[in-house]
Structure 1
Amino acid sequence: MNGSPLSLNVFPTAGNRNLGRGALWIAPLLWAAGAVAGNLPETREWRGDLSLPNGATLPIEVELFLNAAGEPDGNLISPAQDQRYARLVEVEFADDRLRVLGRAPDVEIAGPIDNGTWQATFSQGGFQAELSLAPTAQVTEVERPQSAAALRDWPGEARRIPAKGAVLAGTHVRPSEGTRAAALLLGGSGATERDGYFAGHRPLAVLAAQLAERGIASLRYDKRGVNRSSGEHDPTDIDTLTRDAEAALRFLRARHPGLPLLVIGHSEGGLIAARLGAGAAPPDGVVSLMGPVLPLAELFALQDRTEARAAGASESEADALVSLSRQIYEAAAKHSDPASRMPAVMAVLESASDAQRQAFERFNGGTGTLGPGMLGGRHYHTLLAVAPKESWGALDVPGLLLFGELDSQVPAAANIEVLPKRDGLSIVTLPGINHVMQRSDSAATQRYAEIDHVVAAEVESALAQWIEQWLQAAGHNSTH
């Protein structure tokens, strides 16, 4: 992290690739086991303004709750930096003194609650400041009309989903009348909560509402160690993520016996959906929305190129970045232990040419799959070996792969090219659609937060058309 407190701008972007830029900085990831058991104060939501050395102020909010396992837990929120679900790893309350601790970012807020005000000290790195937090009726939410309408019209019911080593917190939405099928919704990479939140957008909530309007029930959940799910989040552990999805699918199947089941995954969720479709207890259909087919090591290098180009890099700058990133991935893949992996990665960075270093700093900055949160992950070496095309080749149920023409994170042509040839797969590429299912004029990831709409009408239409054909082909026309 850079030295000044904002550099508290290092509220990281939870695994979303390259939504922010930083310095050439690589450090080991600190893994945390989850919130400490104990009591919670009567006030669960707090807000205060942090004074910075430059005279500016930064709003800081904290929300506290019992997670799905009944443990004290919470989120650290920085509305000005669009950080809504930065998970707390410790919550301690005793003798009217409240202390919370975050990892990524490393932040401690601690102090007594006096006459309803939390008189705390804010600490991050070498920076400390007094921070007075008052109760607030509601933490700050970014108003995105499409997402707000989805949550208002189809709030669903809270569910606790048992999984190995964790309890997942989810939302189960049922149509108001007869249910024709049920769908498990899976979000993208990183510390993704149940709605797929980014910049106020909640695309999975929007998808759930659109499905409910067509008679399709749905279940979506916070990843383990995220928001209200218990357990430890590891963005590199694709096997545990898959097992959690299998647990959620069993949960959904038990609540809709006899109905056809779909798994619909966005981005990384599309990869996991394909794994479930090729598994021992598959759903009846699989949908990948902008999900990868390429082996992940190849995809990551391709992303480094396409995202840099979309951000304005020249061909030579993109070449320099990719030549360096490939060396980093190759070095990382050789080390199962992060303690030996990180020095190997640092050696690659230290030997980088001036052109490589400049391209890295300008168009990546050590974020996403080249960031410390991924490179330091315990399972990163196995993640690099994952090849989604193998799951698609083994799929024995109908599938839809939906791509966006303006997707710089999962480029359509390169992924379609390696897709195994088999019956039952429908492939659709939508013009003008980016990775997060928006209609856009650019493939640049910076546009995601600037566009007010998510889940474009073209995406909804293509998905609805395929579902209707899938139901008819399988003879599923009855409702429960």
Structure 2
Amino acid sequence: MRKILYLFIICFHFSCSHAQTFDGSWKGEVEVSGQKLLLVFNIQKDSAGKWNGTFESPMQTAQKFAINQIRIEHDSIWMDVRNIGLLYAGFLDRDKDVMKGVMKQGPFESAMILVRSENEQSGLSRKQDVFPPYSYTEEEVEFKNSAGNALLTGSLTYPKSGGPFPAVVLINGSGQQNRDSEVFGHRPFKVLADRLTKNGFAVLRYDDRGVGGSKGEVNLATTIDFASDANAAVDFLSKKAVVDVDKIGMIGHSEGALIAEIVASENSKVKYIALLSGPVIKGDSLLILQSYALGKVGGLSEKALDVNKANNRKLYNILLEDEPPKVLAESLEKELIQQNNGNPLTPDMKIKLSPMMSPWFRTFLRIDPAYYLKQVKVPIFASFGGKDVQVPANENIYCLQHLHLNTTDVTIKDYPNLNHLFQNAQTGKIEEYFENSESFNEQLMDDLTKWLKLKTN
């Protein structure tokens, strides 16, 4: 389950030299029978040094359950909520406010990411969320990507009268997400689709492979495969009677912006693209920037940040080599042992290595967005958040401004106080994604809507 945004593009840092802390309230979500459930773990160490805590699922019951057993070793944790047969095993990511792991309850098992919260309040306020009845038509659709052997399901919204309409495809960021790009109770693509449809656009948003009714290879799929799905979405739109075939565009967030660049560079049906927190810098360099930014807001010293940067560069250089997977895995383990002061890697550390060997990760390291951007000939809207620690704004804006593009119609917007999800933020740290009641900044939606209307009139 390669879930959640692209914060969770995998950046690794193995460090056993300093203590980690698990104190606090941790919140995450898991999908059960198509429903997203909020789960909360509140844990603390008492004066005797013993760990204790409570677990709750506030969307199901107001009751809090005792966590009967908590085991912690270095950066790893194991929790047992015996009354309901629930287990959670995970580890602290580089950012000490993010925990990655697996939840099990009976036969059910799911990957789950927990984010440290500043308070134990379990309610979620999502002030922009959208619910029926709608003032427009919403149609359940499905389309095939024959080239990629995938079937995608989604929603097509369009005004009830008039047409044909200019149309856009919304493209999710990294990880398997549903058509609403739903995360932590936020549904930003549903909010955006609602705004654009009310302003005269047809909007197609779809579930990624392996989510909802969408089917297709996931474990071996790369950004290029997901671009093939988006390409099929454009072709599908071009055949709909309600769509003006000469006014089709794409809006992508994070990796979805990169996908929009790829598709627009080769599909002449795409007439404009909007890039929301889209990477401009090559994948390996972007991840190093991301690791630095996350570490900085997490409180790491400059010395530690420099060490992490050097260590990550060595790991990525290995992964960029054209060697068989077995050889790469051996080289990675050798390098990590050296970075771990010569100590052998624990089984837990070895498990963390496996995502680095995935086709998606190795491909992402190699992709240079500039290569595709230079081939795009249509208008570009590129927006960045000044508090974004996943696609740092300054470096990516600088790179975009200095590219020799095939189009002069480029609008770059920098929103100093917005994070990677385009929420108003204090620091850009990951826990703010969860706590923030804003799902998609109103000013950005206004600017984007005005730009889209200008390009489709």
Fold match by TM threshold 0.5 = yes
Report deviation, 1:12.
Answer: 7.3
Instruction: Give % identity.
Output: 25
Deviation at 1:148, TM superposition (A): 3.9
Q: Indicate the RMSD between aligned Cα atoms, in angstroms.
A: 4.1
Question: 1:431: Cα distance to partner?
Answer: 1.9
Matched, 1:157 2:147: no
**Which of residues 250, 253, 256 in structure 2 aligns to 1:266?**
253
Aligned to 2:298: 311
Structure 1 contact 19–446 (Cα < 8 Å) conserved: no
- Alignment size in residue pairs: 371
Give the structure 1 partner of residue 7 of structure 2. 17
Report Cα offsets for 1:322-346 as digits up to 9, x if no partner.
1111111111122554443333222
1:232 alignment partner, SS class: coil
1:441 and 1:280 mapped to 2: Cα distance? 39
Return the offset for 1:23: 9.4
Counterpart AA for 2:270: P
Give the deviation of 1:251 after TM superposition: 0.7
Given residue 438 of structure 2, which amino acid in structure 1 is its aligned partner?
A: H
- What amino acid does structure 2 have at the position aligned with 1:426? T
**2:82 corresponds to which residue?**
none
Equivalent positions of 1:385-464 (< 5 A) are 385-419=366-400, 420-422=403-405, 423-464=408-449
Cα 1:292/1:45, change in 2 over 3 Å: closer
Whole-angstrom distance in 2 between the partners of 1:457 and 1:215: 18
Structure 1, unmatched stretches of 5+, are: 1-10, 26-42, 63-77, 82-103, 111-121, 126-139, 358-364
Looking at structure 2, the residues matched to 405 and 463 of structure 1 have their Cα atoms a distance apart, in angstroms, of 17
Q: CA deviation digits over 1:425-456, x for unaligned, max 9?
A: 11111121111111112121221111111111
Q: Equivalent residue for 2:336?
A: 349
1:239-264 deviation line (CA, Å, top 9, x unaligned): 11110000011111111243501100
Aligned match of 2:356: 375
Given the two structures, how large is their TM-score scaled by the length of structure 2? 0.71
Aligned pair partner of 1:291 in 270, 273, 278: 278
Task: Say whether the 8 Å CA contact 1:194–1:220 is kept in structure 2.
Answer: yes
Contact 1:151 1:205 in 2 (8 A): no
Contact 2:140 2:153 in 1 (8 A): yes
Residues 57-111 of structure 1: CA distance to partner in whole angstroms, max 9, x if unpaired?
665999xxxxxxxxxxxxxxx9999xxxxxxxxxxxxxxxxxxxxxx8485844x
Q: Secondary structure at the match of 1:434?
A: coil
CA contact (8 A) 2:179 2:205 kept: yes
The alignment partner of 1:170 has SS state of: strand
Aligned partner of 2:185 in structure 1 is 200
Instruction: Quote the offset at 1:173 in angstroms.
Output: 0.9
Which of 210, 215, 229 is the matching residue for 2:200?
215
TM-score, reference length from structure 1: 0.67
Letter in 2 for 1:237: T
Q: Partner letter of residue 157 of structure 1?
A: E
- Which letter does structure 2 place at the counterpart of 1:205? K
Q: 1:282 to 1:258 in 2, by over 3 A?
A: closer
Return the alpha-carbon distance in structure 2 between the equivalents of residues 449 and 290 of structure 1. Answer: 18
The 1:150–1:311 alpha-carbon spacing in structure 2 relative to 1, beyond 3 Å, is: farther
Q: Give the secondary structure class of the aligned counterpart of 1:300.
A: helix
Equivalent of 2:152 in 159, 164, 168: 168
Are the structure 2 counterparts of residues 154 and 314 from structure 1 closer, same or farther at C-alpha, using a change threshold of 3 Å? farther
Could you tell me whether the CA contact under 8 Å between 2:6 and 2:390 is conserved in 1? Answer: no
Give SS of 1:172's match: strand
